[in-house]
Structure 1
């Protein structure tokens, strides 16, 4: 199958993993981080992947984010097989179809908020006027319309994470992939950022949240538990 071929089994899922395994080698030592993961996420779902350190959730996040590829198995994103793509193709998918929110914010300190948000559009080759308009619009959507010219150092931790969420939104991606997004925030900022993710879900966004905190995972509508490289539970969560 070519990397652009779409199958009837995968077109109804935004994310579809089948039999995904990931093996790492260090000299003669072999470690299987994922041992046959099957996962389907449909449009508009808010899914938390929960697991302790060493469970395989970081490896799974890297594969979901097209930062790594499976050793075995397949990964379809929006019906497109991304598991056998080249590095250049994967970079294009990451920029167009996945919005990342990381624990460390990953903002450039010398750039104003709107310039941080526009970066994915720069890589996509969009014109400067449209980039600026879309960046300001994204910042306004996360409640920072009055902070577009502030640099990260002039913003609180919670505000910096909102800038990161705006950057994730600006390309209108298929999924928002949030990796421990509240790990560096105080309780007040955590509540605000989780509230923002709730709002994005309510507006129809597909969100995949990676976390080890069960109270954070409880904000999602579905929890997948990963242990020893396998999905061990798939639970619906009660309404917020």
Structure 2
């Protein structure tokens, strides 16, 4: 599913350079649940941006399902982001003026799916995350955990092969955190490939493997204790 070969990312500001990633090599198979863990400034968010085709490496290669992402046009990259990758962020990024189902249908709007189909698929996705009774509620009428479930439903509505979750529990209380992590467990059990970015070790422990990032490098790639591959 994912192959990284010598991936580097350098940011420049005038004469100053900062190397956020320093030759990252990694492979994630289809259907795996992998957590990328590290402290703030370690490079994990930069890595997530590259995995999500939101940024390009300065050097090295990123292969997604065998395709070299660097060879894709902006139009092709946009299609990959919309159809093949589902994003879940720490900030929910929901439109406050729109209902839950309207927020969930947005990727389908960009994909040109007919209106009737969009509504049906959005409601089905919300039902899947346990919000069948909240489809017409706006974000301000939902709890933080419910808003994150809406965000997960939006990530799922295009049936992507890969779910990228960037600190998805960072703004949630302990009960909502447990609910969202249980939902990610269910998606993994159903065959989704999940990459979870986090700085919390107890959250990372839910994955099958942990990639530990420090100073722009992967310093450890190990299975989680007690989780069978």
TM-score by length of 2: 0.97
- Whole-angstrom CA distance in 1 between matches of 2:156 and 2:52: 15
Query: Are residues 1:71 and 2:58 paired?
Result: yes
| CA displacement 1:97-125 (0-9 Å, x = unmatched) | 11000001000011110110000000000
- Whole-angstrom CA distance in 2 between matches of 1:127 and 1:76: 32
- Whole-angstrom CA distance in 1 between matches of 2:65 and 2:133: 35
| Partners of 1:69 and 1:84 within 8 A in 2 | no
Aligned to 2:9: 22
Query: Are residues 1:205 and 2:192 paired?
Result: yes
Aligned to 1:38: 25
Unaligned runs of 5+ in 1: 1-13
- Aligned-residue offset at 1:194: 0.5
Aligned to 1:89: 76
- Whole-angstrom CA distance in 2 between matches of 1:212 and 1:98: 22
- Aligned-residue offset at 1:175: 0.5
Query: Are residues 1:232 and 2:205 paired?
Result: no
Unaligned runs of 5+ in 2: none
| CA displacement 1:161-207 (0-9 Å, x = unmatched) | 00000000011112000000000001110011111111111111110
Query: Are residues 1:128 and 2:115 paired?
Result: yes
- Aligned-residue offset at 1:92: 1.5
Q: What value does the CA root-mean-square deviation take over the aligned residues?
A: 1.0
Aligned to 2:105: 118
- Whole-angstrom CA distance in 2 between matches of 1:168 and 1:83: 23
- Whole-angstrom CA distance in 2 between matches of 1:31 and 1:88: 29
Moved over 3 A (4+): none
- Whole-angstrom CA distance in 2 between matches of 1:144 and 1:79: 36
* Residues 206-225 of structure 1 mapped to structure 2, 5 A cutoff: 206-225=193-212
TM-score by length of 1: 0.93
| Partners of 1:48 and 1:217 within 8 A in 2 | yes
